[in-house]
Amino acid sequence: MKFKGVGKMGILEETKGLVENSIQELGLPKAVFEHLKEPQRLMIVNIPVRLDSGEVKSFIGYRAQHCNVLGPFKGGIRFHPQVTIDEVKALSMWMSLKCAVVEVPYGGGKGGVVCNPKEMSEDEIERLSRGYIRSMLKIIGPEQDIPAPDVYTNPQIMAWMADEYSSAKGHNEWGIVTGKPLIVGGSLGRLEATSRGCYFVVEDAIEKLGLSMQGLKVAIQGFGNVGSYAAKLLADAGAKVIAVSDSGGGIYHEDGLPVDKLMEHKVKEGTVSSYPQGKRISNEELLILECDVLVPAALENQLTSNNAPNVKAKIIVEAANGPTTAEADSILTDKGILICPDILANAGGVVVSYFEWVQDLESFYWSEEQVNSRLQLKMADAFRRVYDFCQRQEVPMRKAAYMLAVKRLGEGMLTRGWVKK
């Protein structure tokens, strides 16, 4: 039987399918699925925010706390107009799996607010961020649930959130969120951590296929926190970043794009698509470019049954969460493309969030070199375990990663007595 990826039934149902399938194949008690199929807790809040106009507008916020068998809930908060309950639930389940794959002592959580930060002032975003934390006060905490950045949230938002929580508690609690600015308990290396983790995965994956970083042709969808630093790290190491994109479209140059200049252009103009050198392309065109490595680093469901038959990359490194639908996963696997799945490929963010949290709890801060070298060890170890499993069991990398993660979650449940043999 083919192991399915996320897709047609919707990302949540597809992820549950993958988890259930893994439980069966591992011979774990069925009760493990009863613990994993839904979040342990789902909080839905209404957050009234005073707009600059003086009008009050309310926003719906979610926090899904998926499973804390291996540690406190952990995961980002997304501010996006298309956030849904099912998306937040799926993202929280991926966090449980991701933390298990890289063996950090966390459970999975994820938050979201239905809003469009691009249409809000900085002050309005601050009031919304503080309102979110006030609404979640009873269920979050450094030992309970530790949020972090995700799509359209950033270190400044994390600082407001940490400040709001600290004010409510009456003392500073830097360990309440990660991805903070350095001055309020952030960690060196966290800003680039997800991208650096992806970079290490690219290094390991190309080695398996006998490719070299020098001149490696890379296409990257999404030029936010993850996509832009992934582009920079790869270009600095000698790869040729031939295309990048954002929500405004993409830009392509067969000889490689100047990533530092693109980053400056993005800050000034708000999009990479208007960069004056190269050819403008759509996000759809980017995904099917002739390249060695494709890095989806934007949103879910980008690689679908429509475009997968035309994908020409040799390797896909899923920097985004859930970029590949079930049907696409199957088509791409049949084409022999090496897919490094999201729960492995983008785990660098949560690994360095873990380091940040440890530093906050100890009030003792590490050098950037320490952070990056520990991240490299974690990512290399996880890649090796997933790749070895995939070779031994003759299964795709996604299945290998899911099985290793579910095995660890199941072992945690058996050991704690949540389920019996």
Ligand X SMILES: NC(=O)C1=CN([C@@H]2O[C@H](COP(=O)(O)OP(=O)(O)OC[C@H]3O[C@@H](n4cnc5c(N)ncnc54)[C@H](OP(=O)(O)O)[C@@H]3O)[C@@H](O)[C@H]2O)C=CC1
Ligand Y SMILES: O=C(O)CCC(=O)C(=O)O
Q: Is 178 in the site for ligand Y (CB under 6 A)?
A: yes
* Least distance between ligand X and beta carbon 414 (Å): 29
**Does 363 carry a binding-site annotation?**
no
Q: Is 72 in the site for ligand Y (CB under 6 A)?
A: no
Q: Is 148 in the site for ligand Y (CB under 6 A)?
A: yes
Would you tell me how many other CB atoms lie within 10 Å of the CB of residue 10?
Answer: 17
- Annotated active-site residue in 16, 110, 217, 378: 110
Find where tokens 């997304």 sit: 78
Q: Which residue is nearest to ligand Y (CB)?
A: 76
* Least distance between ligand Y and beta carbon 152 (Å): 12
Strand order in the sheet with 41-50: 41-50, 56-67, 107-114, 73-80, 145-149
Q: Is 192 in the site for ligand X (CB under 6 A)?
A: no
* Least distance between ligand X and beta carbon 73 (Å): 15
**Residues near 105 by Cβ (< 8 Å), separated by ≥ 6?**
70, 71, 99, 354
Q: Which of 112, 349, 396, 412 binds ligand Y (CB under 6 A)?
A: 349
**Does 225 carry a binding-site annotation?**
yes
Pairing of strands 41-50, 56-67: antiparallel
Phi and psi angles of residue 324, each rounded to the nearest 5 degrees, phi first: -115, 125
Q: Which of 4, 16, 35, 74 binds ligand Y (CB under 6 A)?
A: 74
Find where tokens 């270009």 sit: 235
Strand partners, 107: 73
Q: Which residue is nearest to ligand X (CB)?
A: 224
Q: Which of 129, 302, 353, 372 binds ligand Y (CB under 6 A)?
A: 353
Q: Is 295 in the site for ligand X (CB under 6 A)?
A: no
Phi and psi angles of residue 142, each rounded to the nearest 5 degrees, phi first: -60, -20
Q: Is 196 in the site for ligand Y (CB under 6 A)?
A: no
**Does 37 carry a binding-site annotation?**
no
Verify whether residue 110 is a known catalytic residue. yes
Q: Is 192 in the site for ligand Y (CB under 6 A)?
A: no
Q: Which of 15, 65, 68, 225 binds ligand X (CB under 6 A)?
A: 225
Find where tokens 């890379």 sit: 218
The DSSP string of 187-205 is -TTSTTHHHHHHHHHHHHH
Q: Is 262 in the site for ligand X (CB under 6 A)?
A: no
Pairing of strands 107-114, 73-80: parallel
Which of 37, 41, 132 has its CA nearest to residue 90? 37
Q: Which of 21, 178, 194, 372 binds ligand X (CB under 6 A)?
A: 194
Would you tell me how many other CB atoms lie within 10 Å of the CB of residue 73?
Answer: 30
Q: Which of residues 179 and 278 has its CB atom nearest to ligand Y in the complex?
A: 179
Which of 384, 101, 345 has its CA nearest to residue 230? 345
The helix or strand, by DSSP H or E, that contains position 217, with its residue range, turns out to be strand 217-221
Q: Is 327 in the site for ligand X (CB under 6 A)?
A: no
Strand order in the sheet with 217-221: 279-281, 249-252, 240-246, 217-221, 293-296, 315-317, 338-340
Count of residues near ligand X by CB under 6 A: 26
Q: Which of residues 3 and 354 has its CB atom nearest to ligand Y in the complex?
A: 354
* Least distance between ligand Y and beta carbon 77 (Å): 8
**Does 194 carry a binding-site annotation?**
yes
Q: Which of 99, 198, 288, 319 binds ligand X (CB under 6 A)?
A: 319
Q: Which of 320, 343, 375, 406 binds ligand X (CB under 6 A)?
A: 320
Pairing of strands 217-221, 249-252: unpaired
* Least distance between ligand Y and beta carbon 263 (Å): 21
Calpha distance 385→78 (Å, rounded)? 30
Calpha distance 149→225 (Å, rounded)? 10
* Least distance between ligand Y and beta carbon 366 (Å): 16
Give residues in contact with ligand Y (CB under 6 A).
74-76, 98, 148, 150, 178-179, 321, 346, 349-350, 353
Annotated binding site: which residue ranges? 74, 98, 194, 225, 353
Residues lying near ligand X in the complex (CB under 6 A) are found at: 149-152, 194, 221-227, 245-248, 271, 283, 297-299, 319-321, 346, 349
